[in-house]
Amino acid sequence: MNNEKSGSEAILTVEGKTYSLPVVTGTENDKAIDIGTLLQKTGYTTLDTGYKNTASCTSDITFLNGSEGILSYRGYGIEELAEKCVFIEVAYLLVHGHLPNPAEYENFRQLLKRFALIHEDMIHFFDHFPPNAPPMAILSVMVNSLSSYYPEMSLDPLKTLDTAAARLISKIRTIAAFTYKKSMGHPLVYPRSDLNYCGNFLNMMFDKPVYPYTVRPEAVAALNKLLILHADHEQNCSTSTVRLVGSAGVNLYSSISAGINALWGPLHGGANEAVVTMLETIHQDNDNFKKYIEKAKDKSDPFRLSGFGHRVYKTFDPRGKIIKEACDDLLVALNVSDPLLDIARRLEEIALNDEYFIERNLFPNVDFYSGIIYRALGIPTNMFTVMFALGRLPGWIAQWKEQQEDPDSKIGRPRQVYIGEPSRPFVPMSKR
């Protein structure tokens, strides 16, 4: 890990006694107070609801500076990666720690081709889900079941990780596409060796025997960017879940399955779906977007514009800038006509020029534009979070791997502050 004790100390005074705690400084000068000995020294723990001020680990995967709008993977700025790489290059970077050279890239690409199919027995699993089963529920179950079909990780997980990572990155798109096809009652479309990663996914989603699908390069480019932008995002809820579950020695497939379930939560991975729901609400109200702008400004009104602002980014979401350009290019290329997209453009125009939104840094974020792109590509709303999971998978794998390789890693075990009944005598049943 590229972190070090800075030599400086934080001084803590508790009940008149003074304690010194070391300060850890990261490579981008982010600082943390190491409280690893706090309980032992003082008898106190810390209380930090939601872990907003707590670093659960050191990591060399992703750097995020919310106040300055900076995001980088393994030291590479997200802007450069999104412009110059395809998704599987970034996936390799996150898992292996460096960008692939031509031989490494070709080997990884061939592994993805080799592992694109899922075991034929797994296809029967789809038949036993209810017709309207949520796609994320199916995805979680199917990914978890991979540990039964590929049990080699139980022997030496780090030795076989490269193979398992390629297998998972390749198969998850097939599982996702099959989930959609089953929900539509359409015949399954198997992966093709002549298509790239994103092109293959789009073809498996939308090709039909009676209506062949044409893979548009503009659609592939937009999807590549979206997956890259979602590939990792530091210690968010789902990533923390993967690490917490993995800390118990759980295999990669089951740890990822747990992360999928965390991402499924509407407060985490459901933001882009909420954007489309908001646009539909406005459209049903005679496209009266000005009414909803005023509702968003009214502090007494619970309505909030979905897809604007971000919990971590206090200025702008760097991913939002990138995906806005991709969104504009795609809508022009596909010549999409959609009333919801027209409303989205008007909301975007207002937010970028209205002082209320500018002063509060409520700019459109990546979720605002990703929902629009997915809709333009024809991906249904209930598949949006599945798309998020496809992008986030390499980050989850990298985080799981990093934790397993860390000699100082321990099973996750947060503390609590008990606020229940104090100690009291037991009352026998006859006297209650």
- Name the token pair of 164: 């398992």
Edge-first strand listing for the sheet containing 62-65: 62-65, 70-73, 76-77
Report residue 18 CA to chain centroid gap: 41
Residues marked active site are found at 310, 367
What is the distance between the alpha carbons of residues 419 and 229, in angstroms, rounded to a whole number?
41
- What letters, b where the CB count within 10 A reaches 16 and e where it falls short, cover 389-418? bbbbbbbbbbbbbbbbeeeeeeebeeeeee
**Residue 17, exposed/middle/buried by CB under 10 A (0-12, 13-18, 19+)?**
exposed
Edge-first strand listing for the sheet containing 17-26: 3-14, 17-26, 31-33
C-beta atoms surrounding 118 within 10 Å: 22
Nearest in space to 5 (alpha carbons), one of 21, 16, 19: 21
- Name the token pair of 66: 């919310």
What is the distance between the alpha carbons of residues 369 and 358, in angstroms, rounded to a whole number?
18
Which DSSP string corresponds to 61-105? Answer: SEEEETTTTEEEETTEEHHHHHHH--HHHHHHHHHHSS---HHHH
> Across the strands, what pairs with 63?
72
